[in-house]
Amino acid sequence: MAIPNLLGLGTTTSGPPNQLGTHPIKIMAIAGARPNFMKLAPLFRCFRARLPLHELILVHTGQHYDENLSGQFLSGLKLPRPAYNLAVGSASHAQQTGEIMKRFEPVVIKEQPNAVLVVGDVNSTAACALVAVKLGVPVIHVEAGLRSFDRTMPEEINRVVTDSISDLLLVSEEAGIENLRREGISDRRVQFVGNLMVDSLLFHLEEARRAPLARNLGVVDGQFGLVTLHRPANVDNPDKLALLLRALNRIAEDIPLYFPVHPRTKDKLVGLPLKSRITLLESLGYVEFLSMMIRSAVTLTDSGGIQEETTALGIPCLTLRDNTERPITVSLGTNRLAGTTLDTITACWQEFKRDPKQGRRPPLWDGHTAERCCEAIARHFQIA
């Protein structure tokens, strides 16, 4: 499929772009969970360098509030201190979404932004987009168009809802363009810009290579596996989690595994059997985690972002899910879908040992996505 010309696509839902000329504009950027911070960091750097007359304001919803998932990232990723922290904390999906909307609405009314920029597919993404559009504020969705086609995933609902109400949809992979077309969204609202996660990864790569964590743990490069688990479908069901751990125990017979434990997963592991060759770690900051990933032989994960990062780095990835909203990591990258049963995971592991997958980096995953995002935003608002 041909890559659409970035400058050849239009920019508005209907009518001409906003006639703001060179007047300064204000955009509120929403971060609620770990991947949001990683994707916003290069965008903030680019705004400062390329659009210095205009204001990008960070709003932290507090959806993730653990220090290792929020505060540490703000300093490590060189993000500004949030202008607002909504401090919503953890709750059910409905309660959390509703609380974010309740707390975000007065912020939008007070600030009167020209746009609200949301990232990814977490509850904060959909909640803040809904508030904005109901107040008549344009919505920019970064990482638009991704689909797992599994409506049992709360993230899938967030993606579909957010895309349907966004004015400017910034797409990270070509499949997203086709998904949006099938849903009736005009190409005029869509820009293919690439992957902000890769911008962050490449920006911090040398720092990660110097990080001492792997050396302190005594790991040997290329001779261990890295594990993450956090999706509710995998960790909230005790039977499913126990099954996944059985699979990991079996893999650990072949290779030692290091498992930085997400806060939502930590308590659920209590009492479950783990082999001694699986080492549990506290949740890691971004650079620390990246320092382990670049040295690993394989990553086993249920994270969408890690599927992207391993593809960009050329590291084999076994995704402990039955589907992925990032199909390009499978078709072009190093990712394999391992499923969630003992048989499918074991079979995928054996296949990996026989034939480690050689992938390549997808189009526009080149470290310059933030620049294309800034260009798309500038064109949309006709600013310089």
Contacts of residue 330, defined as CB under 8 A and 6 or more positions apart, other chains included, come to 324, 336, 337
Task: Give the SS3 label for residue 381.
Answer: helix
Catalytic residue at 230?
yes
Amino acid, res. 80: P
Q: Which two tokens stand for residue 362?
A: 């997808």
Its sign, for the CA torsion 332, 335, 341, 346, is positive
Q: Are 177 and 190 in contact (CB under 8 A)?
A: yes
Task: Give the SS3 label for residue 178.
Answer: helix
Q: Are 66 and 283 in contact (CB under 8 A)?
A: yes
Q: How far lies 239's CA from each of 151, 243, 313, 341, in Å?
A: 22, 6, 33, 11
Nearest to 143 by CA among 134, 126, 151, 12: 126
Residue written as token pair 């653990």: 66
Q: What does 208-240 look like in DSSP terms, one character per residue?
A: HHH-SHHHHHTPPTTS-EEE----HHHHTSHHH
Instruction: Single out the catalytic residue among 60, 64, 204, 230.
Output: 230
Total residue length of the chain: 384
Angle 238-252/342-354 helices, nearest 10 degrees? 30
Q: Looking at the annotation, which residues are catalytic?
A: 230
